[in-house]
């Protein structure tokens, strides 16, 4: 049992690392195309792109160890006896290393996710106690200009007295529509998930991906506000609020209407009609292509995993012999 579980863990981690490297190498090539899409679709595809290494490697590993797929998708071959077989190591201590490594990786990601969930929930609870509920937002009696959406499953919009005094009624309506879009989309949870999916890659790569996802989320909410108001008014409000909030500090785990990435967002608003919206049939076709590709690579993946396990067994045997 330990050999099977450990082999599964090793293969999953190796596939995960390989796919992460491949997806990172390809990302600069598809990045311009993502920014030509409507930001709503861009955010979804970007999050899917970086979730794919973990999810595809997990799915492929499950398929490698499922007899039903071996019967139908793996070329018949024998290793001494012609029975169904998964690529399993024969060294129990190597299998144990695989289990420990997988537990450490998954535990680290889960701990990061839960810790941030807890911090955000605590901050939302504290600010809710300090605020009073108004029509569509929570009012904070603070002189500093602040506006942000905080929370994971049930986000809330917070607006300070300083911001209300610095904005016109029309600007406030645009700001609230923007923040309500964050609330509907649960963008805080989307950004947290994105940070978890790229947590194990180098920081320079990680910052690029998280910044891109943040820009997509902000642009998507700008576009939502522009559907109710005109794009020029939203752009002018962005500039005004960006100046107003320049020196303010927002809580952790929050999304703020803070004028961040101002030039990109204003440019996107003024050219929003040029952003392409994906159709449902295109998403279905993309899913079918991915499924077909996964099925096609299963056979070579099975043989590659067998070679990997054979090399791991040989290395483990040599190491154990040298130690004795």
- Long-range Cβ contacts of 210-216 (<8 Å, 24+ apart): 211/261, 212/31, 212/34, 212/46, 213/43, 213/46, 213/47, 214/260, 214/261, 215/39, 215/261, 215/264, 215/265, 216/34, 216/39, 216/42, 216/43, 216/46
Asked if 159 and 140 count as a contact pair (C-beta separation under 8 A), the reply is yes
Query: What contacts 41, CB < 8 A, 6 or more positions away?
Result: 277, 278
What is the pLDDT averaged over residues 43-50?
91
Residue 167, judged by CB atoms within 10 A of its CB (0-12, 13-18, 19+), counts as: buried
| Of 172 and 79, more confident | 172
pLDDT number for residue 259:
53
pLDDT number for residue 162:
86
d(CA 259, CA 269): 13
pTM: 0.82
Residue 51 phi, psi dihedral angles, 5° rounding: -80, -20
Question: For the segment 220-256, what is each residue's pLDDT rounded down to a tens digit?
Answer: 999 999 888 888 888 888 888 888 776 555 555 445 5
Query: Is it the case that residue 91 has pLDDT exceeding 80?
Result: no
Query: Is it the case that residue 152 has pLDDT exceeding 80?
Result: yes
Q: With bands split at pLDDT 50, 70 and 90, how would you rate the model's confidence at 212?
A: very high
* Percentage with pLDDT > 70 across the chain: 77
């Amino acid at each position: 049992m330990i050999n099977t579980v450990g082999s599964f863990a090793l293969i999953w981690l190796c596939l995960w690392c390989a796919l992460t490297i491949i997806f990172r190498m390809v990302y600069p090539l598809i990045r311009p195309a993502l920014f030509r899409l409507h930001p709503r679709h861009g955010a979804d595809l970007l999050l899917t792109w970086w979730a794919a290494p973990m999810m595809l490697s997990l799915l492929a590993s499950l398929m490698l160890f499922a007899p039903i797929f071996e019967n139908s998708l793996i070329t018949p071959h024998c290793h001494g006896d012609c029975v169904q077989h998964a690529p399993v190591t024969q060294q129990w201590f190597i299998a144990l290393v695989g289990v420990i490594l997988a537990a450490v990786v998954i535990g680290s990601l889960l701990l990061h996710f839960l810790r941030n969930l807890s911090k955000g929930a605590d901050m939302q609870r504290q600010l809710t106690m300090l605020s009073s509920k108004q029509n569509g937002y929570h009012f904070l009696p603070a002189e500093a200009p602040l506006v942000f959406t905080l929370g994971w499953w049930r986000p809330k919009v917070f607006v300070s007295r300083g911001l209300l005094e610095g904005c016109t009624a029309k600007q406030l309506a645009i700001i609230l529509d923007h923040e309500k879009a964050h609330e509907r989309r649960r963008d805080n949870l989307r950004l947290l998930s994105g940070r978890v999916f790229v947590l194990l890659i180098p920081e320079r790569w990680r910052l690029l991906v998280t910044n891109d996802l943040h820009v997509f989320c902000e642009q998507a909410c700008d576009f939502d506000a522009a559907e109710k108001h005109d794009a020029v008014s939203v752009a002018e409000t962005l500039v005004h609020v960006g100046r107003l909030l320049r020196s303010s500090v927002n809580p952790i785990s929050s999304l703020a209407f803070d004028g961040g990435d101002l030039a990109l967002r204003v440019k996107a608003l003024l050219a929003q009609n040029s952003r392409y919206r994906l159709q449902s049939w295109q998403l279905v076709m993309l899913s079918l292509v991915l499924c077909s590709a996964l099925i096609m690579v299963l056979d070579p993946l099975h043989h590659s995993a067998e070679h990997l396990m054979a090399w791991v067994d040989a290395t483990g045997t040599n190491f154990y012999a040298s130690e004795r």
